[in-house]
Structure 1
Amino acid sequence: MDQDRILIAGGGIGGLAAALALAQKGIPSLVLERSSRFGEIGAGIQLGPNAFHCFDRLGVGPAARGMAVYIDSLRLMDAMADGEICHIDLGEKFRTRFGNPYAVVHRGDLHGVLLQGCRDHALIDLKSGAEVTGYDQDDKGVVAKLAHGEAVSGRALIGADGLWSNVRRQVVGDIPPRVSGHTTYRSVIPTEQMAEDLRWNAATLWAGPKCHIVHYPLSGWKVFNLVVTYHNHAPEPVAGKPVPVEEVRKGFTHVCERAQEIIRHGKDWHMWVLCDRDPVERWIDGRVALLGDAAHPMMQYMAQGACMAMEDAVCLADSLSKTQALEAGLTTYRDRRILRTARVQLMSRAMGDHVYHPDGPHAALRNAMMSAKSQDQWLDTLDWLYGGNGLD
């Protein structure tokens, strides 16, 4: 029955994870994707142990583990001095402490695993070309209004439609996202085009004044993901715009030669102007709730955007399964998630300021503090994020 299903606006990682999580609890759903096909734009993403906890709860653990690259460490490099500041060992001690590994994956590969899981499940329906522009609701259900004039009904509506969420606009009624002025450029290159002395099995961050470079292997070591960011005071959002390498390089003329060489190897660069929002309490409007970037968009600096969306999905389904009162279940979901996601939002901004982009004495203080930590101290530092499963 249509009235028994949960409507999900958005067929990205968060929306598909929500559908899978609900299906694991016996709850049917309909995923409404605005694009003409289900797919994911972007290249690599990092997955902490909390992501793997979610994969198991979503029923896609083996498939997700099969497409991941398991890196040995997180490395922080000084982009001015061309030397390592510190690293975090991701080996046996890390895995034992947090119950799962740390890995990197191609965003499209991860989306594909979730999409196949949805296609294989009888309780999940998928509809593309179906942008949710708004909703009406009463005490019996929700009607989602679609851009081409159609309307679909369900028991509830989950807004998993990203940074520019139409559902959020009606739930929260807030201003547009905060434009950070930081622009990120992405490229994926064949492994043989990466400098041989930098083909590390690590997620590597080169931190410099108002800029940074990240690289790591993907897709079974067939390619390297390159992500570079600098402050260019971009005034408005941009997503996926092709740019020449010259535009990318001009933000890195002050860093060491080896770091600059990484950029020269990049091909087919595309740019994104980074945006986020302040944490808010209003995630719920009756039978409507927000999830992922629609609820708590964050900067990339903690590599937790996809992980937080998947945690949301599992927590949502768990909360709804424990009560017959739908609105109470949505409120419980919000209450269980809001402080954790707000912490990641605000710490992601702080990481950009104090780890990724400082200069002068600020950078020297970063180097001194981070290089002084032992591996056990790093594990203690990360315990709040990885120590539990993020879902309890």
Structure 2
Amino acid sequence: MPLPVSAHIAVVGGGIGGLATALAVARAGSRVTLVEKAAQFSEIGAGLQLAPNASAALAELGVLDAVRERAVAPPRLVMMDALTGEQLTSLDLRSASYRERFRHPYLVTHRTDLHAALLAACERHPEVSLHTGHTVVGVNQDTSGVRLRFAESHEELAADAVIAADGLHSRLRQALVADGTPVCSRYVAFRGALPAERMTGRMSKHASSEAVMVWAGPRMHLVQYPVRRGELYNQVAVFESDSYTPHSDDWGTEAELEERFAGTCQAVRDALPLVSRDRRWPLYDRAPVDQWVFGRIALLGDAAHPMLQYLAQGACQALEDAVALGHALEQSSSLERALATYASLRSPRASRIQTNARRFGEICHLEGMGATLRNMLLASRSPENFDDISWVWTPATAAAPAL
């Protein structure tokens, strides 16, 4: 058994993926310096689904209990027809079949709560050094290490390796991979969490069930579920814009949102006025790439595999990345071998999920006869049949301790 790699690793990016990576690397025995360009650590957005592969990763990182304190464990995932209001299919997340197959819980949480749990764990770890207000503007590497340059100072950071966890618009990826800019799907999301007591009348029925509700319709959908111990209710309205124009923000407007959802059932129309309009989120991804490691620099999370949200796996895959990197550092005889092992383990799986997220979005947004056939096929599914999703929810890394 090789001795674990002991090195100084720099992590660029203080989001969920970056913090998880810093924690995994430190727990594997290396020293970590994490740099974040913002003036303080924070996370934007609303709710987040954590499938059992993510819960397994959080258990590996030692933060699952902290996350569960503020999360909700929904009893079911339910897919509804947004036009007719009829249930299409569901998955029973409390069944014996689920527990035997996955062993870890399916959780929904607020992004800020997950981020806070990871940040607190990093702050407690003696081998993690956290630095805000550091914008990476350049990188140089040779056979002995990597040096990062920052906009805010002339001082450089020297490390044995760098993990680029700086998101969809990763500067490090742009310097290493010649694949252009992220691809806009022409879809946009309006999302946010509101106090649960505002879900009154007909809407309160679904809010009180604690289920994850997905209302699928032609070129649009609505997702609903409770977060933060049920105190908040998360809603995400997604639709394809007919007015998309590259290099312009004048598309995916509130007026289009209202128009796209105008023909939906009463339950969806009741919920729509309470969907947050503070910010619109254009949805991007990229085609998978084979190469994640460039000398002593490795890509991770959205910097490596940005994906559309239709399988709810963006953050889950970043957590898997972090755990896999930690395992590789523990089990490899050199830093170079550890980075190569990490990429070879993670790249095929993440790429497959990237590709299938697009396909699931197409299925969710079918129109006409396509939607009719989808509904007929889904109607025959058992709530305890996880065959079509089990490969997504089962990580390729070693299993964490069971519940």
State the TM-score bracket (shorter-chain normalisation).
Answer: over 0.9
Find the counterpart in structure 1 of residue 162 from structure 2.
157
Q: Which residue in 1 is equivalent to 2:205?
A: 197
C-alpha deviation, 1:236, in angstroms: 4.2
- Please, which of 51, 68, 73 is the counterpart of residue 48 of structure 1? 51
The residue that corresponds to 2:386 in the other structure is 379
Out of 376, 394, 397, the residue aligned to residue 391 of structure 1 is 397
Alignment of 1:123-202 (within 5 A): 123-148=127-152, 149-194=154-199, 195-199=203-207, 200-202=209-211
Superposition deviation, residue 171 in structure 1: 1.9
Cα deviation, residue 247, structure 1: 5.2
* 2:245 corresponding residue in structure 1: 235
Letter paired with 1:235: T
Q: Which runs of 5+ in 1 are unaligned?
A: none
- Cα deviation for residue 192 of structure 1 reads 1.5
Q: Is the 8 A contact 1:182 1:229 kept in 2?
A: yes
RMSD of Structure 2 on Structure 1 (CA): 1.8
1:362 counterpart = 2:375: no
Determine the structure 2 residue equivalent to 1:75. Answer: 78
CA distance in 1, matches of 2:79, 2:95: 20
How many residues are matched?
A: 385
Q: Map 1:201-220 onto structure 2 (within 5 A).
A: 201-220=210-229
Question: Which letter maps to 1:125?
Answer: S
Instruction: State the alpha-carbon separation in 1 of the partners of residues 247 and 284 from structure 2.
Output: 7
Question: In structure 1, what is the equivalent of residue 113 of structure 2?
Answer: 109
Matches of 1:236 and 1:29, distance apart in 2:
39
Q: Report the Cα distance in structure 1 between the residues aligned to 2:94 and 2:228, rounded to whole angstroms.
A: 20
Offset from partner CA, 1:111-167 (integer Å, 9 cap, x none): 000000000000000000112223101111100121224321101000000000011
Aligned equivalents of 1:16, 1:126: Cα separation in 2:
9
Among the aligned pairs, what percent are the same residue?
38
Deviations 1:269-327 (A, max 9, x none): 32100000000012111000000000000000000000100100010111122223211
Distance 1:312 1:137 in 2: 23
Post-superposition Cα deviations, 1:162-203, rounded to whole Å, max 9, x if no partner, equal: 000011112213200111100000122111111222223111
Q: Which moved more, 1:16-25 or 1:378-387?
A: 378-387
In structure 2, the gaps of 5 or more residues are 1-5, 399-403
The Cα shift of 1:238 comes to 8.8
Residues 218, 224 of structure 1: 8 Å contact kept: yes
Q: In the alignment, what sits opposite 1:350?
A: 359
For residue 22 of structure 1, what is the aligned residue in structure 2?
25
Which residue in 1 is equivalent to 2:296?
Answer: 287
Say whether the 8 Å CA contact 1:211–1:229 is kept in structure 2: yes
Distance 2:95 2:358 in 1: 30
Shift of 1:76: 0.3
Mean alpha-carbon deviation: is it higher for 171-180 or for 305-314?
A: 171-180
Distance 1:238 1:165 in 2: 21
* Cα pair 1:237 1:272 within 8 Å, conserved: no
Q: 1:272: which partner in 2?
A: 281
Pairing 1:122–2:126 present: yes
Q: Judge conservation of contact 2:241–2:256 (CA < 8 Å) in 1.
A: no
Corresponding residue number in structure 1 for 2:95: 92
State how far apart, in whole Å, the 1-side matches of 2:178 and 2:79 are. Answer: 40
Supply the distance in 2 between the matched residues of 1:374 and 1:198 (Cα, whole angstroms). 21
More deviation in 126-135 or 46-55?
A: 126-135
C-alpha separation between the residues in 1 aligned to 2:253 and 2:111? 23
